C-alpha cells in the first residue's frame, strides 16, 4: 500500500516538477484533505 502511494507521489512529482510551488500547494491541499477524511 505504502509503495503504491510512493509511486503515485513520484509520478505526481515528475509531472509537476517544473512548477515546484504549485506542487507544494497541491501537497498541502492533499494533506489537508487526507486529514479531513480520517475524522
How would you write the pLDDT of the chain (39 residues) with one tens digit per residue?
A: 678 888 888 887 777 666 666 667 877 888 888 778 765
CA-CA-CA-CA torsion sign (20, 21, 22, 26): positive
Quote the pLDDT of residue 39.
55
Range of the domain at 7: 1-37
Quote the pLDDT of residue 2.
75
Q: Does this model's pTM top 0.85?
A: no
Quote the pLDDT of residue 38.
64
Number of domains observed in the structure of the chain:
1
Quote the pLDDT of residue 11.
80
Burial of 14 (0-12, 13-18, 19+ CB in 10 A): exposed
- Determine contact, residues 22/32, Cβ cutoff 8 Å: no
Amino acid at each position: 500500500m505504502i509503495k503504491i502511494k510512493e509511486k503515485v507521489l513520484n509520478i505526481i512529482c515528475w509531472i509537476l516538477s517544473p512548477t515546484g510551488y504549485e506542487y507544494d500547494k497541491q501537497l498541502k491541499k492533499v494533506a489537508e484533505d487526507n486529514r479531513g477524511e480520517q475524522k
